[in-house]
Structure 1
Amino acid sequence: MASTAPQIRSLYRRILRELPTHPSAHQKLSSPSMLQQRIRASFTTPTPKSSPNSKQHIDQFQQAEQFIQYIQAQRMYATLIERYNPGMGMSEEERVRLTARRVGMDLPPEFKAEEK
Structure 2
Amino acid sequence: MTSPQSVYRAVAREVNRASISAPATRSKTIVKNFRTIIESGGQSNTEHFDHDLANAVTFMKSQRMYKILLERYNPLHDMSAEEKVKATARRVGLDVPLRENSDEGQ
Identity of aligned residues (%): 31
CA distance in 1, matches of 2:80, 2:10: 37
TM-score norm. by structure 2 comes to 0.69
CA distance in 1, matches of 2:26, 2:72: 30
How large is the RMSD of aligned CA atoms in angstroms? Answer: 2.8
Q: For the Cα contact (< 8 Å) 2:4–2:39, is it kept in 1?
A: no
Q: Structure 1 30/100 Cα, relative in aligned 2: closer, same or farther at 3 Å?
A: closer
Higher gyration radius (CA): 1
Q: Give the corresponding residue for 2:19.
A: 21
CA distance in 2, matches of 1:114, 1:80: 39
Q: What is the DSSP-based 3-state SS (H/G/I as helix, E as strand, rest coil) of the residue aligned with 1:39? A: helix
Q: Give the corresponding residue for 1:78.
A: 67
CA distance in 1, matches of 2:69, 2:27: 30
- Cα deviation code 1:11-45 (max 9, x no counterpart): 1111111123235xxxx726403x32221111233
Read off the aligned partner of 2:89 and give its amino acid letter. A
- In the TM superposition, what is the alpha-carbon distance from 1:84 to its structure 2 partner? 2.3
CA distance in 1, matches of 2:64, 2:26: 23
* Structure 2: stretches of 5+ with no match in the other structure: none
CA distance in 2, matches of 1:87, 1:63: 35
Task: Report the count of equivalent residues.
Answer: 97
Q: 1:60 aligned to 2:56?
A: no
Q: Structure 1 8/90 Cα, relative in aligned 2: closer, same or farther at 3 Å?
A: same
CA distance in 2, matches of 1:58, 1:104: 58
Q: Give the corresponding residue for 1:44.
A: 39
Read off the aligned partner of 1:75 and give its amino acid letter. R
TM-score norm. by structure 1 comes to 0.65
Q: What is the DSSP-based 3-state SS (H/G/I as helix, E as strand, rest coil) of the residue aligned with 1:83? A: helix
